[in-house]
Structure 1
Amino acid sequence: MIDALREQITSCILDGNPIRIKIDLFYQNGREFYFGKKHGLHPVLVHGYDPSRDNIYIVDDISEYTEYCVPFTEFLEYFTENEAITDNSITQYVLKHSHSSNINEKVIQNFVSNLLLLESELFDSISNILQLADIYPFALKHEDLIETLSSTIYRKCSERYRLLKLLNLNNDSNSIKNSIIKKMDQVLDDWLLLRALSIKAIYTRNYGKKLIDNSRINLHRISKLEREYHILFYSLIHNFNFNFSAEQEFYH
Structure 2
Amino acid sequence: MTGILGELLITAGVLVMLFLGWYVWLNDIVTGSVQQGAAVDVQRELQQEWEDDLATQPEPEPEETTEPGTPLDPPVAVAPAAGESWGALIVPRFGEDYVRAIGEGVDPATVLNSRTLGVGHYAETQMPGELGNVALAAHRNTWGGAFSEVGELQLGDNLYVETRDGWYQYAFRGLEYVWPSGVEVLLPVPQAPQVEPGEHILTLTTCNPRFSTAERMIAYAVLEDWHPRSGGAPAEISGLVEASSR
TM bucket normalised to smaller: under 0.3
More strand by share: 2
More helix by share: 1
